[in-house]
Amino acid sequence: MAAAEPVGAPAGGNCSLAGGGSVPVLFCFSVFARPSSVPHGAGYELLIQKFLSLYGDQIDMHRKFVVQLFAEEWSQYIDLPKGFLVNERCKVRLVPLQIQMTTLGNLTPSSTVFFCCDMQERFRPAIKYFGDIISVGQRLLQGARLLGIPVIVTEQYPKGLGSTVQEIDLTGAKLVLPKTKFSMVLPEVEAALAEIPGVRSVVLFGVETHVCIQQTALELVGRGLEVHIVADATSSRSMMDRMFALERLARTGIIVTTSEAILLQLVADKEHPKFKEIQNLIKGTEACIMTFNYSEMAAQPCISGVLEDVILNSGDFGRKPITVHILF
């Protein structure tokens, strides 16, 4: 592991001086935070060793990292000052300096978690193609159970918006959590992720694409996780909101994909012991051509002219990719 040359900055801890031969330190990596201790006067090399002992199965040794120290003076992390020695209680984190290129979006069951976002009854009449995304979401959850992939589920203000729809079987979900925050990244979710060794990728689906899905995806990427949004299992009240959200997310490096691609990536081989069962989940798909009237989009200044034969590469709401004629 290589690290960037730290920026020179005044040394300084962020709590009280610790007595005895060791100093308590909070070690943060990705979405995780684990308390430990190091000998009084420990420097950079010992901090790296401690990170490896705490997170060794999750750190890619081919990547470059920098160690940062939380400085109360600035109320944020700074690059570890040159010659820094741990003399008082502090908080440090290990941060990747470049996007990981070794995975290129590849998925494995052992390093993947499924996030099912707010598939609730009160959204049924408002969300476009809600019945279709429920069907695809259920297919994904069945696949997760077959492959032993942990599932985290949230429900947005269930007191007012109801519980997850009955068609979605949450049997075996690691966590089903109510929330009021739009993002799924809550303390309980972070704690659940911390219990799963080697998590690298999150497969995300649900509603609404431009609100809870978008905010969840951006937070997860900010914590160093690779996010795959299942386009045929996410929607919004407005198709314009959905399309522009997926476009924005794709531009940030988030992977926009389909349920079939996800499931087949996870088995990866016809000889996989669960391939036949996964194949049976997929077999119900069929081709479809639809025409939508996007008259509500005509008033938008960002759209002009007539768009014909637009292919929504982002997916099909539960069938094969569809040809869409946009009419004004």
Residues noted as catalytic: 118, 179, 212
Cα–Cα distance for residue pair 289/267, rounded to 1 Å:
29
Q: Angle at CA 30, nearest 5°, toward 256 and 116?
A: 45
Do you know the residue count of the chain?
A: 328
Half-sphere exposure in the Cβ direction for 34 (13 Å, CA): 16
Q: Which residues contact 115 (CB under 8 A, 6 or more apart)?
A: 151, 152, 153, 154, 184, 202, 203, 204, 205, 206, 216
Q: Which residues contact 196 (CB under 8 A, 6 or more apart)?
A: 113, 150, 174
Cα–Cα distance for residue pair 236/214, rounded to 1 Å:
11
Q: Which residues contact 267 (CB under 8 A, 6 or more apart)?
A: 147, 274, 275, 278
Cα–Cα distance for residue pair 202/225, rounded to 1 Å:
7
- Backbone phi and psi for residue 61, each to the nearest 5 degrees, phi listed first: -70, -10
The answer to whether the beta carbons of residues 224 and 96 sit under 8 Å apart is yes
Cα–Cα distance for residue pair 228/203, rounded to 1 Å:
5
